[in-house]
Amino acid sequence: MTDSSRRPCRAARALAFACLALAAALPSLAPAQTPAFPSKPVKLVVPFPPGGPLDVIGRSIAQKLTEAWGQSVVVDNRPGAGGNIGADLVAKSPPDGYTVVMGALSTHAVNPSLYPTMPYDAVRDFAPITLVATTPNVLVINPSLPVNSVKELIAYAKANPGKLSFGSGSNGSAGHLAGELFKVDAGVDMVHIPYKGGAPAMQGLLAGDTQLMFDNLANSMPQVKAGKLKALAVTTGQRSKMVPELPTMAEAGVPGFDIATWFGLLAPAGTPPEVIARWNADVVKILNAQDMRERLTAQGAEAAPTSPAEFAVFIGRELAKYARIVKLSGAKVD
C-alpha cells in the first residue's frame, strides 16, 4: 500500500478516535445541576429602622430559618421614603430567592397612591411569598374628652366642627389614613397633626395637644390600662383576640370600617416557583409555632400566614382600598 493510500485510513482512524474522545467528554460538558435552595447565605431586607415590630418579627423569622436551613439568614435594615428604598433594592435584586423583603402596608398598598412617582411596581416587580401578620390599630382618646363611645365621639365632633385634632406618626401612615377614613365615613371635620414618629404622636395625645389617635394596639394598651387613655374600638373588621372586649369600628357605628397594619414576605419577580414554595412552607411552619405566635402577640400582632396566591389577592385588595382612601383624603407625602 502506498503512502498516498494510507493517508485516508489514518485520517479515518484519527477521526474515529476524536469522536470517541468527544463522546467520553460530553457528560462533563453537561450543564451543572442547580444546587438545592438555599446553598449560600440569604438576605432579609427590612425597609424600616431597627427596633420596631416589623424588624423584631423579621429577626425572629431569620433566626428560625437559619436554624432550619443551616445557612445564615441576615436581616438588612434599609429605611427611608416610607419603606420604598428597601423595597426597591429587592425589586431590582436577582430573582433567585436569596434577597427578599419584609414588605408592609406602606410599601405595597399605600405608597403607590401616596407618592407621585414610585421606583418600583408593587405588583409587577414582586413575587409574593406569604402574609406574615396583621396589627390591629385602636381608636384611643384623651380622657379629658367627654365621650365614652364611637357614637358619642361622632356626635361631639359634629357639634364641634374643626375643634378636634388627631395625631399620627407621619403623613400617609396607617394612623393618618384611618383618621381620614373616619372623617369621610362618619361625616366629621377634624384636623390632622402629623408628628415625626409614633412616640411623639403618643406624647402629644397624652399631653392633650391632640384629642384622639388611631394607634398600634401594643403601643396604646399600656396607656389605656394605666388610665391615661380611653380605648373606644379596634379598626379591623373583626375583634382582636388580644382585646376581645373592644368592639370593631363597624360594630361601634361606622359600617365597613376596616384598616390594619400588616407585613409579609416578597421576593423579586421571576423567582423560581420551587424557591417561593420552599420559603412559603418553612415560614408558614414558623408562624404556626406557639412560641412565634407569642412573640407576635408581644408586638401587638397576630399571625396571618397565607399561600403565595392568597397573598397576591390580598395585596390587590389593599392597593384598591388605599387608593380610594388617599384620593378621598387628599393625603400627600411630606
Q: Tell me, yes or no, whether 3 lies in a domain.
A: no
* CB contact at 8 A, 292 and 132: no
CATH number for position 320: 3.40.190.150
Pick the last residue of a domain from 234, 250, 285: 234
Q: Is residue 294 part of a domain?
A: yes
* Mean pLDDT, range 313-323, rounded to an integer: 95
Residue 10: inside a domain, yes or no?
Answer: no
* Cis status, amide bond into 95, omega within 30 of 0: no
Name 319's Cβ contacts closer than 8 Å, sequence gap at least 6. Answer: 108, 109, 112, 113, 122, 123
Q: How far apart are CA 143 and CA 219, in angstroms?
A: 17
> Do 172 and 152 sit in the same domain of this protein?
yes
Whether 273 and 230 map to the same domain: the answer is no
The tally of domains found in the chain comes to 2
Residue found under cell 424588624: 55
How far apart are alpha carbons 18 and 15 in whole angstroms? 5
Q: Which residue has the cell 378621598?
A: 328
Neighbours of 278 (CB within 10 A): 17
174 and 300 Cβ atoms separated by less than 8 Å: no
Residues 166 and 113 in one domain: no
What's the confidence (pLDDT) of residue 9?
A: 47
Residues 6+ apart with CB under 8 A from 252: 149, 150, 151, 232, 233
List the grid coordinates of 326.
Answer: 388617599
Structural domain harbouring 210: 136-234
Indicate if 160 and 298 belong to the same structural domain. Answer: no
Closest-CA residue to 106 (of 334, 315, 324, 327): 315
**Domain of residue 176, CATH code:** 3.40.190.10
pLDDT digits (tens, 9 = 90+) for 26-76: 444 444 456 799 999 999 999 998 988 889 999 999 999 999 999 999 999
Q: Grid coordinates in use for 115? A: 407618592
Q: Which of 185, 218, 234 is the last residue of a domain?
A: 234
149 and 117 within one domain: no
pTM above 0.85, yes or no: no
Q: Is residue 100, in this structure, part of any structural domain at all?
A: yes
Of 6-10, 137-141, 185-189, 193-197, least confident by mean pLDDT is 6-10
C-alpha cell at 138: 385602636
Cell of 26: 460530553
The closest alpha carbon to 221, from 153, 137, 144, belongs to 137
Residues 114 and 192 placed together within one structural domain of the fold: no
Any domain includes 297: yes
The rounded mean pLDDT for the chain is: 89
**pLDDT by residue (tens digit) across 258-314?**
998 899 999 999 999 999 999 999 999 999 999 999 999 888 889 999 999 999 999
Clarify whether residues 116 and 165 are in a common domain.
Answer: no
CB burial readout 70-82, b (16+ within 10 A) else e: eeebebbbbbebb
Judged against a pLDDT cut of 80, whether residue 1 lies above it is answered with no
Q: Based on the fold, state whether residues 145 and 227 are members of the same structural domain.
A: yes
| Farthest-apart Cα atoms in the chain, separation | 120
Q: Using CB atoms within 10 Å of the CB of residue 103, give its burial: 0 to 12 exposed, 13 to 18 middle, 19+ buried.
A: buried
Establish if 253 belongs to a structural domain. no
The single-letter DSSP state of residue 36 is: P
Q: Convert the pLDDT of each residue in 88-141 to its tens digit.
A: 999 999 999 999 999 999 999 999 999 999 999 999 999 999 999 998 899 999
| CA–CA distance, 52 with 38 (Å, rounded to integer) | 28
Band (12; pLDDT cuts 50, 70, 90): very low
Whether 251 is covered by a domain: the verdict is: no
Same domain? For 142 and 221 the reply is yes
Side chain identity at 162, as an amino acid letter?
G
Are 37 and 275 a contacting pair, CB within 8 Å? yes
Assess if residue 110 is contained within a domain: yes
Residue 99, classified by CB atoms within 10 Å of its CB into exposed (0-12), middle (13-18) or buried (19+), is: buried
